[in-house]
Amino acid sequence: MPKISFSAHPHLLGFERLDKMLELSAKSNGDGFPPYNIEQTSDDDFRISLAVAGFAMDDLDVMVEGAQLVVRGEQGSRSTQAEYLHQGIAARQFKRIFVLADGIDVVGATLENGLLHLDLKRCDREEVVQNIAIS
């Protein structure tokens, strides 16, 4: 099946960034860990909640890199010699990437009851109407 590209369509000019964002989104987050929810809390507000049980605040890193929201988790070395009969709580590092549309800003992050909440807001950017002079 051939790759479909917005930039290949003759009426869609300048959509190379959209192609790149879709490609990045398809490549990332293959393993499904940690599980997450995305909810729309109002017309312009969103919340991403990641289940990060066992991770402390110092184990988590949240960054915006270009058009990507990157969440990383890496637990420090645990110096326990425990012998587990069953170990069902994941203690592995992760990197979860969310591609952000233009005009979406991350406004806060909180860690509560094993959930990392990331609050996002759509910024009001007025649509500009421009009259182009013909010379």
Query: What is the number of domains present in the chain?
Result: 2
The verdict on 36 and 25 lying in the same domain is no
Query: Is 135 a domain residue?
Result: no
* pLDDT in the model for residue 11: 67
Instruction: Identify the pLDDT of residue 106.
Output: 92
Q: Strand order of the sheet with strand 45-51?
A: 36-40, 45-51, 115-122, 104-112
Domain containing residue 11: 1-30
Q: pTM for this structure?
A: 0.73
Residues 61 and 116 occupy one common structural domain:
yes
Neighbouring CB atoms inside 10 A of 120's CB total: 21
Q: What is the chain's pLDDT, residue by residue, as a tens digit (135 residues)?
A: 456 666 666 666 776 777 776 676 666 556 788 999 999 999 999 999 999 988 999 999 999 998 889 999 998 766 567 788 998 876 789 999 998 888 899 999 999 999 999 999 998 766 666 555 654
Q: Kindly provide the b/e burial profile for residues 43-70, where b requires at least 16 CB atoms within 10 angstroms of the residue's own CB.
A: eeebebbbebeebeeeebebeeeebebe
